[in-house]
Amino acid sequence: MEPTVLGGKLASSLVAPLVKKLFVTGGPGAGLVDRPVRLTRLVSFRGEQRTLGEREVRGLAERLVGDALDSPGERPFPRDEETAVADALAARLLALGDLDMDDVQAVRLGHRELAARLRTAAGPWDGLSTDAGHFLDSATEWACLHVLEFFTRRSTFVARTLVAQTRGQAELIAKVDELITRVPRPDARDTAFERRYLPYAAEQYNHITIYGIDLRDSPDRWPLEVAYLSLEATGDEERATLPGGRAEPEHTVRLAAEHALRAHDRVLLRGDAGSGKTTLVQWLAVTAARDGDRVPYVLPLRTLVRAGTLPAPTAFLTAVGCPLTPPEGWAERVLTAGRGLVLVDGLDEIPAVERHRTRDWLLALIRAYPGNRWLLTSRPSAVRHDWLAGEGFRELALTPMRRADVTTFVRRWHTAARAPEYEALLLDSLHTKRDLARLATNPLMCGLICALHRERRGYLPTGRKELYDAALTMLLARRDRERGMEAVDLGEEAQLELLQRLAYALVLSGRTEMDVATAESLVERALPSVASAAGRGDAATVLRELLLRSGLLRRPAEGTLDFVHRTFQDYLGARYAVEEGHLDVIAGHAADPHWEDVIRMAVAHARPGERAVLLRRLLAADTPRLTLLALACLEYATALDPTVRTEVEARAGALIPPGSTDDAKALAEAGPLVLELLPGPEGLSDAEAHGVTVTASLLAAHEPAGALAVLRRFRGHPSLDVRRQLVGTWDRFEARRYAAEVLDHLDRTDLFLTCRTEAQREALPVMGPWTHLTFHGAHRATEITDCVADPGAVEELRIVNNTEVTELGDLPDTFTSLRLLLIDCREVRDLGPLTRLPLTSLLISRTADLTGLPALSSLTHLTVSPRLPGPHLTTALPTDAPLRYLYLTDDAIVGTGLRGLSHWQTLRALYLAPTTPLTAGDWAEIQRLPDLTCLGLHRSLLPDGIGAMPTLPGVEELYLTSLEGDEGLSVLASRLPGVRTVALATPGTSLDGTRLAALFPGAEVTLG
């Protein structure tokens, strides 16, 4: 029983007087004596002032227990344990006299801790049942609540509490003063210098330099805000182990890289070449300098090791060329106070023999100046995994950029370069060209791609071979050289020769990783023919240098290696295959989708005659995918026999653009390769534009970004079929992005937007208002009304397959302009609230009942599927409504038939799809409709249901639905002599159009 529950059984008015008897009455004043007044002096059953004996205390406990048992409600424990519980409670109350504390300390403990002290002081009480023991503990806590309440009301308590607080504050002030005297404050010169240094650091590091790019119109330095992205870092972290529990395995954690030092003061950050390590260092320095919470020191190791001796704190600034001179001892004072942010960059950029010396230097600084934050960066393979783990360093690894990061980088780059006209073109290329997208996974490569794209006025190098060549040159040679590092032992050509052999071995094996032992054997066999590498050491030494400095290889796990980008593996593997004359091997793997990029790269490296042979091999397979692959290869073929080029283009022209939906589906079977080949919208017919959008939609599951790039080009297309396709494929994409980039730009005429998910509802406010909306699925009424930013603009609303909406009361108050409403809500019971709307069209697919329907007098169009109540239509439908269109389907007329239908003399169109046949009386009702010109009949009425059909000379339009091809239609021609158009819906079947045309010689017959 909880104390609060027990409190319901024991009224405070009864407990408080009993508890008060336990203590003597205190006098006025603060009770300031030599020693605080202990509880032993306050209880009334101890000392010289005894007014209550132990027998009286036991009697008090008996009253508390007895009152609880006699109160209404369930008994907390059996009555035969009452005496034992009272004795135990009395022992605990008597223990108040044994506690060595005063009343202020008791109040500070709280009632639960005070009760625990009493339990300990009184000792265990054996022999009680579980319920009795639980009651005893609850009663003890409840009594302690009143004890503490009594203390706080004593006249001396408040005064003594204030005295205790005053003494505590005085002690705290003394300790702070002592701390201040021990830690010297920066003098005025330190403060003045930091006012100069921090802005200098913020400006000095607020830019990046992209080394290795030599372009005419693109600068190599950019503001830091352009290049910096909040990249992710990952690391392994041990789970906490509960006492006695089993040790949990390490798990991977992800965090924003700039937050790496928030939870850990020491971090070793690993990242591949160009992954953003130095940019992160600069960002941390700039933000720290601007915020003023830490003093940043940026220490690039490649600069420091040139001096021979790694600097002490006094030389940090001079070692990196800072022109400012700090006051003497300033750096030591900053680090002693724990205000430093020490960023040591580029462990991999110094010779291996220097790394242990660097480790000793860093650890000496950390031990001399604890409390600061330390970051060390390195490429993954420079030092072993646990190189600094024993010194409290947490290891993190930068992850590749995500697509959203690439998009952000490209946009910022073009904003800074003042070249917005090239931004959209490059983004589309990155989204549709998969090999290019795989290359753009770090800031370095993104910067190179942006610069090359702008340099060529919006076009990437022909066939992109030049792009790969430029990237390889930058990574293998120029980047290190232009950053002032020592000359790389292996030249660019030697590195390429070794790397391409490794790449070709991976391509042939169909893998992307190989073990280090296999790689060493490949390098060993190649060394005799690579003169510049042969004298650099054994195969293991040369491979380690390739791993460390090439920027193309990495070690994802101990004992294995792979290429940082699959596209480099394919590029270099294809180059080696062409050099060795292995075109037959390449062509033999053309049917494997994993070889697509290898084949395209082989075309780029091959000589013109070799290209022609390879492309003819692709065409000879005579499959859509390989024909399209040949077309994709043409952009890599700088020089090619014009006959071969013409043949490839002619064969692919029969596939692209697709002229129909069936063609589009067949084209999509060729895979994501198709996305970069899809044209338009310029120069396409409406049917071809629709086919392209269907193809891209079907490929969204494989390449959503590439499909979106294609569909975005068609968002301004006027064709209704194209626009419907764009609206209908919303489900295949991330809802908010697709809404912003495609849907919000569409001409909304005759378009319905369908929301199926919560994410789509949340994306609705991103767009301008839609007049036609559909909510499909289990959306609550409040979710529908709340997600539309401008509900007054909605004219047509469809609520489909909904089990959550039960009341329609909120709809008229929200969607005040509705003209059309479709209700497919099986739980809705009352249509009456709809009378507040200016509805002209109502479609009822499912409801619990049709209450309120007769009151909707503004309707001109009505569709009803549920069974209508009553014996006549006039009792179930709105008799005052000027109906012109009526669709009665399923069970609607099971009970009413068409009795009373002729009441609506305004009817012009009648569609019937009942589950029961029509009688002669039903047809007589139809015959009495003077303005009826359109009649729709479901196949369920054919042919037996039209036997009683009279001649209807006024009907000019006939619609027949769900035909299967075997219905007898001849009788209709004689009964409908005035028919001018006949439309037949025949899903999945084929009808003889010639026979139908003969039945209705004066009418236009269409099949659908």
**Torsions phi, psi for 773 (to 5 deg):** -130, 145
Segment 195-209 shows an average pLDDT of 87
Q: What whole-number percentage of the chain has pLDDT above 70?
A: 80
Helices and strands, number each (H, E), in the chain: 45, 24
Interval 111-124: pLDDT, tens = 888 888 888 888 88
**Is the pLDDT assigned to residue 327 strictly greater than 90?**
yes
Q: In whole angstroms, what separates CA 837 from the centre of its chain?
A: 40
State the pLDDT confidence band at 435, using cuts at 50, 70 and 90: low
261 vs 612, which has greater pLDDT?
612
State the pLDDT confidence band at 299, using cuts at 50, 70 and 90: very high
Least confident of 127-141, 533-547, 579-593, 819-833: 533-547
- Cα(470)–Cα(456) distance, rounded to whole angstroms? 14
Interval 954-979: pLDDT, tens = 999 999 888 776 567 778 888 999 99
DSSP state of 902: G
- Cα(233)–Cα(228) distance, rounded to whole angstroms? 14
- Dihedral sign for Cα atoms in the order 784, 789, 791, 793: negative
Segment 571-598 shows an average pLDDT of 88
**Is the pLDDT assigned to residue 20 strictly greater than 70?**
no
- Cα(711)–Cα(700) distance, rounded to whole angstroms? 10
**Is the pLDDT assigned to residue 246 strictly greater than 50?**
no
**Is the pLDDT assigned to residue 294 strictly greater than 80?**
yes
Least confident of 451-465, 723-737, 757-771, 928-942: 451-465
Least confident of 2-11, 395-404, 645-654: 2-11
Average pLDDT taken over every residue of the chain: 81
Long-range pairs, 730-734, Cβ under 8 A, ≥24: 730/754, 730/760, 731/756, 731/757, 731/760, 732/697, 732/700, 732/701, 732/704, 732/707, 733/700, 733/704, 733/707, 733/708, 734/704, 734/759
Helical H segments across 634-678, by residue range: 642-653, 661-668
Least confident of 39-53, 723-737, 755-769, 858-872: 39-53
Interval 835-844: pLDDT, tens = 999 999 999 9
For residue 754, CA distances in Å to 13, 37, 124 come to 65, 77, 69
8 vs 463, which has greater pLDDT?
463
**Is the pLDDT assigned to residue 427 strictly greater than 60?**
yes
**In this predicted structure, what is the pLDDT of residue 6?**
46
Segment 21-50 shows an average pLDDT of 55
Segment 492-509 shows an average pLDDT of 88
DSSP string, 398-417: EPPPPHHHHHHHHHHHHHHT
**In this predicted structure, what is the pLDDT of residue 487?**
42
For residue 325, CA distances in Å to 186, 196, 312, 314, 318 come to 16, 10, 15, 10, 8
Of the ranges 29-43, 242-256, 635-649, the best mean pLDDT one: 635-649
**Torsions phi, psi for 411 (to 5 deg):** -65, -45
**Is the pLDDT assigned to residue 403 strictly greater than 70?**
yes
Interval 755-802: pLDDT, tens = 999 999 999 988 999 999 999 999 999 999 999 989 999 999 999 999
678 vs 562, which has greater pLDDT?
678
**Is the pLDDT assigned to residue 449 strictly greater than 90?**
no
- Cα(574)–Cα(591) distance, rounded to whole angstroms? 16
Least confident of 411-420, 462-471, 958-967: 462-471
Segment 459-469 shows an average pLDDT of 66
State the pLDDT confidence band at 749, using cuts at 50, 70 and 90: very high
Q: For residue 830, what are the contacts with CB-CB under 8 A and spacing of at least 6?
A: 807, 808, 849, 851, 852
